[in-house]
Chains A and B, each alone.
Chain A
Amino acid sequence: MTVFLLLPSLLFLLVVFVGPLFRYAWLSFHADSVMTGLIAIPNGGANWLRLVQDQRYWQDLGQTLRFAGVSVGLELFLALIIALLLDQRWRGRDLVRTLALIPWALPTTVMALGWRWIFNTPYGPIDYFTNLVGIGSLNILGDPNLTWMATVWADVWKTTPFAALILLAGLQTIPVDLYEAVRLEGGNPLICLRRITLPLLRPYILLALLFRLAQAFGVFDLIQVLTGGGPASSTESVALYAYWNALRFLDFGYSSTIIMASFLLISVICLIAWIGLQILIPTHSESRGVIKS
């Protein structure tokens, strides 16, 4: 009886999450493109070989990792500050919290247009500002060295509220008397942070980290609309590359290979991030004898 309740949902889940992975795995060992008349013909590991030798892919991979790493790092840092700010009770806090959520609620493509204007040289406000402080005009969206930073900024702007909310949820589970006990023993806020807040917050940081890392690795909307992958493919992400291979070059076999490789990489990265976090923030079994250490 219970089975029937689960079945419809399970069906949808299998079709949408599990099916594609098998399909990609299978397709990556086939040639399926305009060349083959859009029929899948087995070609052994040829796609994978091509992937290993594909300069553009490795460049994209590096760019995507750089984007994800910097973006998520920055986000978590800012999110922690925001969460700490929102954890206290002050008048108007709920309103501020809601307003801070707005960036997260907007569709990426909608705001991407806005960012194009903001970063525009010579007419955007950023340009005006840099000229004001004497840096001069930086061609942010046209200089391959700077454009990726603009994408990071836009991404951090949108996703930090979400991370902040997760960390805030975690902060609210920490009992107040832990802090009071430390204060009685003469501890300062920094020690509180290091020995109480961060260790107890670790599962939430982990959740936010893994979630954001995986999502950032698949960045697509932002790049396509803000920069189109440019200038000179300097901001192109692996997801965008896979998309073009499929819809522009009509090479489904190769596109599947890119996606499959990305999926494997994300899994490995998340595993490393998980282990890394366990090492970086050790949880002491007793959080009260903190001043000694």
Chain B
Amino acid sequence: MNRRFLIALLLLWSLGPLLWQVYTSFCSDQALIQPFVSNDHRWTLIHYQNVLNANPPFWRYLINSLIVGATSTFLCLVLALPAAYALNRIPRQLSVLTRLALVGAALFPYVLLFLALLELARALNLGNQLLALSLPYAALSQPLAILLLNSAFNDLPPELEDAAKLEGLSLFQRFRWILIPLISPATASTAILVFLFSWNEYPIALTWISDSNKLTLPVAMARIAGSSIYSVPYGAYAAATVLGSIPLVLLVLIFQKPIVSGLTSGAVKG
């Protein structure tokens, strides 16, 4: 098969829609409606201005998503690292069962949990608080995180810990000096995957946060979609799409290695 052709097709298919948004975002309203208008009426920056100067300003959403992403990732790791370590030290049948349950939980469409989680948020007064979102996010990422980190711990030679015990290191010291440093690639992969999940999460962020200053990016975009204060809104939509996509494109490009290795090893162990 003509490989070059297939590769070109793949790239066109993958990036085409996004590139179209870039193109659209620079087109004036007139150009959007009349595709063949002359070039001096075509290009504009007004859509970006509108989006960036809106109330609240667009970068607010990015900051919110960043805060939620960072706290979720941190909390998730704090919970998952000890659990992943301990998973190897419980009786064999129990750990096999647990692993199976974790795989099942990882496959589960968490959207269905929105109602119960909403009730929880109401009961504990967690609504409209960015930091509170890290609680469900950390919990929902546990299955994947525990499985990835556990397999990384398994790959360590057991004698390293034995030698450390004989040197007099306590459990905490072993974690600090040996275990955690040695699995740092897996930790990086897990962290970036959890971060991506938190950044992109929609249903729970939607139901927990309504204050427009505290919206995360996906929820804000949905709101923009719901409002049509522009005559031809698609220029503004496109600008918003491009702005919303830039952080993620950067993340993927910068962290491509840990992302790919995390997903790959997750698949192999799953």
- A and B: direct contact (Cβ < 8 Å)? yes
A210–B111 Cα distance when bound, in Å, is 16
Which residue of B has the minimal Cβ distance to A162? B263
Is A211 in contact with B79, judged by CB distance below 8 angstroms? no
Count B-side interface residues using an 8 Å CB cutoff: 85
Count A-side interface residues using an 8 Å CB cutoff: 85
Is B7 in contact with A96, judged by CB distance below 8 angstroms? yes
Contacts of B87 in A (CB 8 A): 6
**Given known A-B contacts A97-B260, A102-B249, A107-B217, A243 and B116 have beta carbons under 8 A apart:** no
Which residue of B has the minimal Cβ distance to A153? B17
Contacts of A117 in B (CB 8 A): 20-21, 24, 234, 237-238
Q: Which of A66-105 contact B (CB under 8 A)?
A: 81-82, 85, 88, 90, 94, 96-103, 105
Is A100 in contact with B14, judged by CB distance below 8 angstroms? yes
Indicate with 1 or 0, residue by residue over B241-270, a CB within 8 angstroms of chain A CB atoms.
100110011011100100110011101101
**Given known A-B contacts A13-B142, A13-B143, A16-B139, A5 and B86 have beta carbons under 8 A apart:** yes
Is B203 in contact with A221, judged by CB distance below 8 angstroms? yes
Task: Verify if A224 is at the interface (C-beta below 8 Å from B).
Answer: yes
CB of A141 to closest CB in B, whole Å:
12
CB of B192 to closest CB in A, whole Å:
10
Indicate with 1 or 0, residue by residue over A3-46, a CB within 8 angstroms of chain B CB atoms.
10110111011011101100110000000000000000000000
A100–B245 Cα distance when bound, in Å, is 14
* Interface hub of A9, A98, A108, A111 (most chain B Cβ within 10 A): A9
Indicate with 1 or 0, residue by residue over B199-238, a CB within 8 angstroms of chain A CB atoms.
1101100010000000001110110110000001010011
Q: Which of A230-271 contact B (CB under 8 A)?
A: 239, 242-243, 246-247, 252, 255-256, 259, 262-263, 266, 270
* Interface hub of B7, B86, B111, B136 (most chain A Cβ within 10 A): B111
Is A225 in contact with B225, judged by CB distance below 8 angstroms? yes
Task: Verify if A109 is at the interface (C-beta below 8 Å from B).
Answer: yes
Which residue of A has the minimal Cβ distance to B137? A16
A90–B264 Cα distance when bound, in Å, is 19
A1–B80 Cα distance when bound, in Å, is 16
A179–B14 Cα distance when bound, in Å, is 30
Contacts of A112 in B (CB 8 A): 221-222, 225
Which residue of A has the minimal Cβ distance to B22? A114
Task: Verify if A173 is at the interface (C-beta below 8 Å from B).
Answer: yes
A106–B200 Cα distance when bound, in Å, is 7
Contacts of A266 in B (CB 8 A): 109
Q: Which of A160-212 contact B (CB under 8 A)?
A: 161-162, 165-166, 168-170, 172-173, 204, 207, 210-211
CB of A162 to closest CB in B, whole Å:
7
A12–B221 Cα distance when bound, in Å, is 29
Task: Verify if A130 is at the interface (C-beta below 8 Å from B).
Answer: no
Is A113 in contact with B252, judged by CB distance below 8 angstroms? no
Contacts of A168 in B (CB 8 A): 264
**Known pairs A8-B82, A12-B142, A117-B24. 5 more at Cβ < 8 A?**
A2-B90, A96-B7, A109-B219, A113-B240, A123-B33
| 6 pairs of A and B residues whose beta carbons are closest in the complex | A218-B109, A20-B116, A9-B83, A5-B82, A16-B139, A5-B86
A-B contact pairs, 15 of them (CB 8 A): A17-B105, A81-B6, A99-B14, A99-B15, A105-B252, A107-B248, A110-B217, A110-B218, A110-B221, A113-B237, A117-B238, A162-B263, A169-B265, A214-B108, A263-B112
